[in-house]
Chains A and B, each alone.
Chain A
């Protein structure tokens, strides 16, 4: 059972609205139904119909919470427009970022929201098979989800005859494990097909040719969990929440010197408020915000008023990503942090595309060189050029976004990187070899 941070009362609770009612036993179907579960499905099936549901989704402006922010209505429409004998809906609950537990928190606190979202998605796109992919780490959660799916099938909310309409939706829980890249949609589809987990070139998008070459809708479970609320309350109500271009709420994993946790925040909330929610910056001044997980961008304190939403973050050089916001105070060295993140991305590259496999490795090596006190004078230029080439020739978003720690670091913390390269000092005092090898010696002679 996950706990969520208390948010201001006026903030809407789309994803965590039922958490308190289900606190005793999240898999309790009766309690969930009393709290409003499967009302959205009923409305979608009885009143809206398939095209009406997609129209409602499109009107709500819901964008995919997997990171890329693709409009969900558009995705569903593309999949349903594709002629096929079989369509699939896949709920991606893999939650690849090791430091983010929002997927686990959502599934373990309100499994029926995700299951209902899956069934609505299957109904709207004409799919008869829905797959919920989750991490295999927590066998108790997997068992609980399988029980929840069974209970929903017995109550007629899923299975062979959804709410007496004759529409069949077979929901399966699939535990997956073994690779970080499973968070990427085409990689997840490969794993579900029993193949090597490497991304596919898009287009064709999975909505056209996905699982077993059939049209497939892959949505994050955070997206799916918002769908029942939208069907119940209407698209306009959802569009009214949050920012104009990216309506709705999102689960954010906050972490800082003063604590942290998971909170549901409306998109468009200034980063300053998220810092406050995480307990502030602690005794030391805030230096940077790492927004988006291992492939996230480093934003300086001057950008604290940036709204937390897809477009503004991308313009600022970060992204929503895994939904993680980490506060770094002045003990953090930007070079050290960026090379750590890039190394993680390089270690987890699947190896299919060369810019990713070799380029990210070189990026992290340049970072090691700078932090280790042996930089070349051209390293700053090299970093920028290499990052640009990786973005230009990348196959999937993993490699394109994995350059963000260094590109955003170069954009906002250039003087600190120059201190490393040109003056052999680390302002934060983290990169030790520099101080020992050169910096200390210079200072002694000065």
Chain B
């Protein structure tokens, strides 16, 4: 503990100067790997594309992979449809946003409750019970939940996550991958027959192939 004022500054600058004159080393990555501390995780950075829009697709894969669970995400999904969230709402990302709101003097909604619409969980519990709350049956659970509600409400995904113990990010990742699973009520209320979600892309391929071969008009 120094008693002379400014001594800390001198010491710090001393270190800077020592480093400044120390020989420089170029590490031939990837052949040679730098020696990093075992807990080093790098710096998180969100990248923007050439149009200035965020490249992040909110896929949650980083949040899922993060070993110390320091990543939290919240916002509107990339298609602007509904609120997606990873991590407890009180972590800093949303809290910072919220504190800015509060400082502005406007009334602040409690997003913890208004984020998504509530649903009747009864039928969902029956589905989960039939599958023994087994995350290995996730696809079947999601398909049946969609058949029940017409789409996959966020509340349903959160409930499935809570009772099966599967991460919300995993469930969300599964549900966004398969074309027949959707997150908004369909325009037509009837349940579409199986395979409809892919039919567009497959019919498109067949007719384009026929057109390219000069076989237009004939079914393949």
Q: B113 in the interface, Cβ–Cβ < 8 Å?
A: no
Closest Cβ of chain A to B27, distance in Å, is 23
* Distance of A332 Cα from B209 Cα, bound (Å): 10
Task: Give the 8 A-B CB pairs with smallest separation, nearest first.
Answer: A194-B138, A178-B178, A137-B195, A331-B214, A98-B202, A136-B194, A178-B180, A196-B173
Q: Which residue of A lies closest to B193 (CB)?
A: A139
Give the chain A neighbours of B202 by CB distance below 8 A. Answer: 98
Q: A255 in the interface, Cβ–Cβ < 8 Å?
A: yes
User: Given A98-B206, A331-B213, do A350 and B136 touch, yes or no (CB 8 Å)?
Assistant: no
* Distance of A160 Cα from B136 Cα, bound (Å): 23
Using a CB-CB cutoff of 8 Å, which residues 346-384 of chain A contact chain B? 347-348, 350
Give the chain A neighbours of B194 by CB distance below 8 A. Answer: 136-139, 175, 177
Closest Cβ of chain A to B169, distance in Å, is 10
Interchain Cβ contacts under 8 Å between A and B, 7 examples:
A98-B201, A138-B195, A177-B198, A191-B178, A194-B140, A197-B177, A340-B212
* Distance of A101 Cα from B215 Cα, bound (Å): 18
- Interface band, chain A: 35 or more
Closest Cβ of chain A to B175, distance in Å, is 9
Q: B135 in the interface, Cβ–Cβ < 8 Å?
A: yes
| Contact A328 B213, beta carbon cutoff 8 Å | yes
Q: A412 in the interface, Cβ–Cβ < 8 Å?
A: no
Q: A390 in the interface, Cβ–Cβ < 8 Å?
A: no
User: Given A137-B195, A139-B194, A179-B179, do A337 and B212 touch, yes or no (CB 8 Å)?
Assistant: yes
Q: A333 in the interface, Cβ–Cβ < 8 Å?
A: yes
| Contact A340 B136, beta carbon cutoff 8 Å | no
* Distance of A175 Cα from B144 Cα, bound (Å): 13
Report B127-165 CB contacts with A as 1/0, cut-off 8 Å: 000000001111111100000000000000000000000
Cross-chain pair count, CB within 8 angstroms: 100
Listed residue (A176, A178, A348, A350) with the most chain B CB atoms within 10 angstroms of its CB = A178
Closest Cβ of chain A to B13, distance in Å, is 43
* Distance of A36 Cα from B206 Cα, bound (Å): 37
User: Given A257-B215, A326-B213, A332-B214, do A98 and B205 touch, yes or no (CB 8 Å)?
Assistant: yes
* Distance of A194 Cα from B173 Cα, bound (Å): 10
User: Given A137-B195, A257-B215, do A179 and B177 touch, yes or no (CB 8 Å)?
Assistant: yes
| Contact B212 A348, beta carbon cutoff 8 Å | no
Q: B84 in the interface, Cβ–Cβ < 8 Å?
A: no
Using a CB-CB cutoff of 8 Å, which residues 169-195 of chain A contact chain B? 175-180, 191-195
Q: A301 in the interface, Cβ–Cβ < 8 Å?
A: no
- Interface band, chain B: 20 to 34
User: Given A197-B178, A212-B136, do A178 and B220 touch, yes or no (CB 8 Å)?
Assistant: no
Report B171-203 CB contacts with A as 1/0, cut-off 8 Å: 001100111110000000000011101110111
Q: B101 in the interface, Cβ–Cβ < 8 Å?
A: no
| Contact B205 A344, beta carbon cutoff 8 Å | yes
* Distance of A327 Cα from B220 Cα, bound (Å): 12
What residues make up the interface of A, taking CB atoms closer than 8 Å to B? 98-99, 135-139, 175-180, 191-198, 212, 255, 257, 260, 294, 326-329, 331-333, 336-337, 340, 344, 347-348, 350, 430
Give the chain B neighbours of A139 by CB distance below 8 A. Answer: 193-194
* Distance of A347 Cα from B198 Cα, bound (Å): 12
* Distance of A327 Cα from B197 Cα, bound (Å): 29
Give the chain B neighbours of A99 by CB distance below 8 A. Answer: 205-206, 209, 220
Closest Cβ of chain A to B78, distance in Å, is 13
Closest Cβ of chain A to B117, distance in Å, is 25
Give the chain A neighbours of B109 by CB distance below 8 A. Answer: none
Q: Which residue of B lies closest to A136 (CB)?
A: B194
User: 15 more A-B contacts (CB under 8 A) besides A138-B195, A194-B142, A195-B138?
Assistant: A98-B205, A99-B205, A136-B195, A139-B193, A178-B179, A179-B177, A194-B140, A195-B170, A197-B177, A198-B177, A329-B213, A331-B213, A337-B213, A340-B209, A344-B205
Give the chain A neighbours of B205 by CB distance below 8 A. Answer: 98-99, 294, 344
* Distance of A337 Cα from B202 Cα, bound (Å): 16
Q: Which residue of A lies closest to B208 (CB)?
A: A340
Give the chain B neighbours of A350 by CB distance below 8 A. Answer: 177
Closest Cβ of chain B to A200, distance in Å, is 15
User: Given A98-B202, A178-B179, A350-B177, do A255 and B138 touch, yes or no (CB 8 Å)?
Assistant: no
Closest Cβ of chain B to A287, distance in Å, is 10
Give the chain A neighbours of B170 by CB distance below 8 A. Answer: 195-196
Closest Cβ of chain A to B39, distance in Å, is 26
| Contact B201 A196, beta carbon cutoff 8 Å | no
| Contact B214 A329, beta carbon cutoff 8 Å | yes
* Distance of A136 Cα from B154 Cα, bound (Å): 25
Closest Cβ of chain A to B142, distance in Å, is 8
* Distance of A212 Cα from B135 Cα, bound (Å): 11
Residue from B173, B214, B220 in contact with A255 in the complex, judged by beta carbons closer than 8 Å: B220
* Distance of A14 Cα from B14 Cα, bound (Å): 83
Give the chain B neighbours of A255 by CB distance below 8 A. Answer: 215, 220
Q: Which residue of B lies closest to A338 (CB)?
A: B212
Give the chain B neighbours of A196 by CB distance below 8 A. Answer: 170, 173-174, 177
* Distance of A180 Cα from B179 Cα, bound (Å): 10
| Contact B181 A178, beta carbon cutoff 8 Å | yes
* Distance of A327 Cα from B213 Cα, bound (Å): 8
Closest Cβ of chain B to A201, distance in Å, is 16
Closest Cβ of chain A to B59, distance in Å, is 9
Give the chain A neighbours of B198 by CB distance below 8 A. Answer: 177-180
Closest Cβ of chain A to B137, distance in Å, is 6
| Contact A178 B197, beta carbon cutoff 8 Å | yes
* Distance of A195 Cα from B178 Cα, bound (Å): 10
Closest Cβ of chain B to A108, distance in Å, is 15
Give the chain A neighbours of B180 by CB distance below 8 A. Answer: 136, 177-178
Q: Which residue of A lies closest to B178 (CB)?
A: A178
Closest Cβ of chain B to A135, distance in Å, is 7
Residue from B174, B206, B214, B215 in contact with A195 in the complex, judged by beta carbons closer than 8 Å: B174
User: Given A139-B193, A196-B174, do A348 and B201 touch, yes or no (CB 8 Å)?
Assistant: yes
